Copies of this chain bind each other. A is one copy, B any other.
């Protein structure tokens, strides 16, 4: 088919108003939140029904057109950067919550539903959807599943993976595959829903997703503890976990991040603190009281100089707003902001913090460190200007050193941001050549023409 004939075909299937070929539109979907070069797609299409989504998939496959599904494009690893000349499939026309079942505690959603909007709807029915990635205000549930998005509550509540009960997805031929169930136990066939999680759109195109819901905690207490050193703060984290307290959230900020956040919003953070821990325990009121007391004791034993307990919802919100400001505040400082997510077993947090400080010093880099300390999932954030070649080389060296360090501690390259284009070259280093080969064999048979989000995760062969 000629290019014009193919565009015509997309228009017939999806409606002319849902097919965009203009340069401005294509440019808008040529990049995502990763620090990578943008790539112009040939065409952008917005399916508004499940059937159209399947037909678009089939059309792409029939014509060998690379297809990249895009939710909000907030991912940080290039998972939604299109392939040159490919098709971007938007999910924002598929944004209906199809069912929230209170009695059986699950929901069925289309992939384009916005995470925070979904969580709010669920909360209205007296239930709780825990995964809360940093981008939740705009990110979509389909994108969250594709990247296995984490968030602040991973420590106690797990990540997106832990809430996917089942899914329908379109295979590359435009046939509907069904996996998982509305039941809390299901072992009927391969765990394809589990395989879809974190697959970044390379093995199928998500249709309906069945998500697990849980009862909300009855009570919660948020605290902010001030430490004289990152070492003291990080040892506190390890000690809290070792004492078998599992806070809902256990976040850390270094002095650089604290000062940057304070300049950004002026929330009254202690700008002289070497480190902050932001901690929330939740559950039964009795448990919250007991756990808060233990956390308080451990903080003091590890040298906390101040401990503020949020007195009401407004103070609690302020604590978490400060944490959520970390990335935008840091990103504001310099033209390029590289947010990493190398992750280590939790007890290795103190050693990792030390290593990050050494790397920053050795390479003369500006690294702000904050993140999900309770998960071992730190976000060392390198502030730079990619146009400065000499500095960028040091940044790349720094990233390599961070990865090496995390792996040497039994950690992983990516806790929650995904592999995408950005980290595929490191995959075999963490796993093995056989692992990459196994993944590529699987990909080759499930997507023989290689049209499903090419090069993501497994790289170009």
**Chain A contacts to B: CB under 8 angstroms:** 101-106, 126-127, 147-148, 150, 154-155, 159, 161-162, 171, 173, 175-179, 181-192, 194-195, 197-199, 203-204, 214-215, 238, 241-242, 244-246, 283-287, 290, 343-347, 372, 375-377, 410-419, 423, 427, 430-439, 441-442, 444-446, 457
Chain B positions within 8 Å of A198 at CB level? 187, 189-191
Chain B residue nearest in CB terms to A288: B284
Can you give 19 A-B contacts (C-beta < 8 A)?
A: A104-B347, A147-B187, A154-B185, A175-B434, A179-B435, A182-B410, A183-B376, A184-B375, A185-B415, A187-B414, A187-B415, A188-B430, A189-B436, A190-B199, A192-B435, A215-B246, A286-B287, A441-B445, A442-B446
Pair B154/A190 contact, Cβ less than 8 Å: no
* Residues of chain B contacted by A432 (CB below 8 angstroms): 175-178
Q: Which of A162, A182, A215 has the most CB of B within 10 A?
A: A182
Q: Is the CB of A189 within 8 A of B427?
A: yes
Assuming the A-B contacts A241-B105, A284-B287, A434-B171, are A187 and B346 also in contact, with contact meaning beta carbons closer than 8 angstroms in the complex?
no
**Which residue of the partner chain B has the closest CB to A347?**
B103
Cβ of A161 and Cβ of B194 under 8 Å apart?
yes
Cβ of A374 to closest chain B Cβ, rounded Å? 9
Cα–Cα distance between A102 and B437 once the two chains are bound (Å)? 34
Q: How many copies does the complex hold?
A: 2
19 further interface pairs, Cβ-Cβ under 8 Å (given A181-B343, A188-B414): A103-B241, A104-B241, A155-B184, A175-B433, A175-B438, A177-B435, A179-B431, A183-B343, A183-B375, A184-B346, A184-B377, A186-B415, A187-B414, A188-B427, A190-B199, A191-B198, A194-B197, A215-B244, A442-B442
> Can you name the residue of chain B whose Cβ is closest to the Cβ of A420?
B187
Please indicate the chain B residues that have their CB under 8 angstroms from the CB of A290 in the complex: 284
A403–B138 CA distance with the chains assembled, in angstroms: 41
* A188 with B412, Cβ < 8 A, contacts A161-B194, A345-B183, A434-B177 known: yes
**Which of B345, B441, B457 makes the CB contact (< 8 A) with A101?**
B345
Return chain B residues, CB-CB under 8 Å to A203.
190
Residues of B close to A414: CB separation below 8 A: 186-188
Please give, as numbers and ranges, the residues of chain B lying within 8 Å of A347 by CB-CB distance: 101, 103-104
* Contact of A190 with B195 in the complex, beta carbons under 8 Å: yes
Q: Nearest B residue to A439 by beta-carbon distance?
A: B190
A442 cross-chain contacts in B, Cβ below 8 A: 190, 442, 445-446
**Which B residues lie within 8 Å of A286 (CB)?**
284-287
Q: Which residues of B contact A435 (CB under 8 A)?
A: 177-179, 189, 192
